[in-house]
Amino acid sequence: MMDLENIRKDFPILQTQVGEEPLIYFDNAATTHRPRQVMEAVEEYVFSQHGNPHRGAHRLAQTASLAYDGAREVVARFIHAASSDEIIFTRNATESLNLIARSYGETHLKDGDKIVITIAEHHANLVTWQRVARVTGATLEYIYLTEDGHFDPSDFAKIDKTTKIVAFGHASNVLGMHVPVQEMIQRAHAVGAVVVLDGAQAAPHFAVDVQALDCDFYVFAGHKMLASQGIGVLYGKRALLDDMEPFNLGGDMIEYVQEQTTTFNTLPFKFEAGTQNVEGAVSLAAAIKYLEAIGWDAIVAHEKKLTEMALTGLSEMPFVKIIGTTNPAEKHGVITFLVDGVHPHDVATILDHYGIAVRSGHHCAQPLGAYLHAPATNRASFYIYNTEAEVARFLEVLPLVRKQMGFK
């Protein structure tokens, strides 16, 4: 069982006042806050270990290398990669997806090939594949949703022998749901396609095992799981990474450079040109250790309790429309909704006056919004430091939004 009171003490920002109201932060799908333990780990690195890793024989270069490489080991264990060499540090999940699209997609696909994604994808896992299709001549096809947010199994037939890449989110940042992952991976591999999993909304919320999933690539971002902004992860199977061209060129990703030719470094350094965000890697390792100390079973149970409470309360409000399923067992801490007659930006602005932070807009998923005829919505997303009292306050305040907009 989670010690929620002590967990909240680890996050000073939660003591923030918004006017006369205490902050209730329900925008965790966008970014999470940092506990003291994460910032203390970064502080320790900066004040006593900081140097440029892999670039010197002096003590601080060595301590920086140990900190950076040690963080990679933590990440590898976290997602159960076969080797830390399969872990590439990037700026964020978006850069990870762009690396895959450029270094694998644009070099391995050709005219007549097919890329299959879902209509629920974040733009980072959609616009990237539009460009790959445009550059290579491949076609881009979508798997669509049923009315309650599930994927239509008949659409899985689009994964056929011409399909070379199947890319989808492990959990949706809008629907809070995940696709039948194993079925889609098995279908993709049966036709020889490579699977790209966007884990930005999954890795922070439940245990991930890339070997058990048998995905070919997996990406996620540190800032969505208590780490600093500016650090992301790309996991790839070694054989695929070995076969790919570097995304960026420069220092540390080389082996030998002559006037006209260059040979590249081994994995993972081949994809990490220039000085890296060591502080970010250190923060991510510390964040992973913090979450693992709480325990994934406890985290899942806590988020499920909050989600069920919020869904039940929202379902009793006739002026609220929930996007996607209303089954809490199928949600991962994300509820997207509409308030009848009130624009989502107005909903978010009024809630903010009560200290409640929710998201408004298209959530970087415009094709999904168009498909659902909901180009803008509100999103409440929960994490380890949120409480039942905060959910109760949210349910108490939401009807006041309608009243302030002139509805009875």
DSSP calls for 108-131: H--TT-EEEEETT--GGGTHHHHH
pTM: 0.97
Tokens standing for residue 170: 């492990």
- Could you read off the pLDDT tens digit of each residue along the chain, which spans 408 residues? 789 999 999 999 999 999 999 999 999 999 999 999 999 999 999 999 999 999 889 999 999 999 999 999 999 999 999 999 999 999 999 999 999 999 999 999 999 999 999 999 999 999 999 999 999 999 999 999 988 889 888 899 999 999 999 999 999 999 998 789 999 999 999 999 999 999 999 999 999 999 999 999 999 999 999 999 999 999 999 999 999 999 899 988 888 989 999 999 899 999 999 999 999 999 999 999 999 999 999 999 999 999 999 999 999 999 999 999 999 889 989 999 999 999 999 999 999 999 999 999 999 999 999 999 999 999 999 999 999 999 999 999 999 999 998 887
Q: Which residues pair with 25 in a beta bridge?
A: 357
**pLDDT of amino acid 206:** 95
The predicted structure's pLDDT at residue 255: 87
The pLDDT value recorded for residue 265 is: 86
Q: Give the separation between CA 217 and CA 234, rounded to whole angstroms.
A: 7
Whether the domain at 4-30+295-405 and the domain at 39-292 fall into the same CATH topology: no
Rounded distance between C-alpha atoms, residue 157 and residue 168, angstroms:
15
pLDDT of residue 392: 98
CATH classification of 39-292 is 3.40.640.10, yes or no?
yes
Q: Which residues are catalytic?
A: 364
CATH for 4-30+295-405 (3.90.1150.10, 3.40.50.720, 3.30.390.10, 3.50.4.10): 3.90.1150.10
Identify which of 373, 365, 378 has the alpha carbon closest to the alpha carbon of residue 142: 365
Residues composing the chain: 408
| Alpha helices per DSSP H over 319-365 | 344-353
Residue of 13, 34, 10, 35 lying closest to 24 (CA atoms): 13
Give yes or no for a contact between 358 and 378, defined as CB atoms under 8 angstroms apart: yes
Give domain limits for the chain: 4-30+295-405, 39-292
Q: Which residue has the tokens 């350094």?
A: 269
Long-range contacts of 11-19 (CB under 8 A, 24+ apart): 11/35, 11/36, 11/385, 12/36, 14/385, 17/355, 18/352, 18/353, 18/354, 18/355, 19/353, 19/355
Q: How far, CA to CA in Å, does 234 sit from each of 85, 118, 257, 404?
A: 11, 20, 26, 46
pLDDT at residue 246, rounded to an integer: 93
Sign of the CA dihedral with 285 first, then 286, 287, and 289 last: positive
